[in-house]
Amino acid sequence: MAHNVHPTEPELARLAEARAAIAHCPSSNAFIGSGIFPMNRHLRHGVRFGLGSDVGGGTGFSLLKEGLMAYLAQRYAPEGVRLTPAHLLYLATLAGAEALGLGETVGSLTPGKAADVIWVKPEPGSALEVHFRHLDSAEDLLGSLFTLHGEAQVHQVWLEGRAAPLVF
């Protein structure tokens, strides 16, 4: 299912019972003004969700952007969840794979899983490049990537572990 910004308690209970999953598309919710995803209520009920991009109502395909939008929306949601960069990465990767029933084969860099990977490099002289040079942890680097991803370029792509030609 997608969005689920206005579920009732019985609906959340039924979704959890059915092991349904939600594609959380925060930029779409913000762009069309449909509401804020009640993440905390979904977590309390055990309803699975991952990030999605809905360009029918949203603004693009980037899960980095969706992660930032989820972070921002949860900051001002009445019962918002304090998301960390690691949690955003999980929502953008393994949570989606788990929602699709594919968590055993994709969604993380666990040995034996198939993976599509991108290598992003910051624009020279950008705020992201400065952040990357002065951060103390991988978590801080990941947070900078989610917040300043617009200053990064895709340098290389691997599909199922094989380098793919870049075509722009």
Residue 123 is classified by DSSP as P
This prediction has a pTM of 0.92
- Name the burial class of residue 122, with classes exposed (0-12), middle (13-18) and buried (19+) by CB atoms within 10 angstroms of its CB: buried
- Poorest-pLDDT segment among 43-47, 53-57, 154-158: 53-57
| Residue 143 parent element (H or E) | helix 138-148
Please say if the pLDDT value at position 168 is more than 70. no
Give the percent of the chain with pLDDT over 70.
Answer: 99
Amino acid 75: pLDDT = 97
pLDDT tens digits for range 66-107: 999 999 999 999 999 999 999 999 999 999 999 999 999 999
pLDDT tens digits for range 148-166: 998 889 999 999 889 999 8
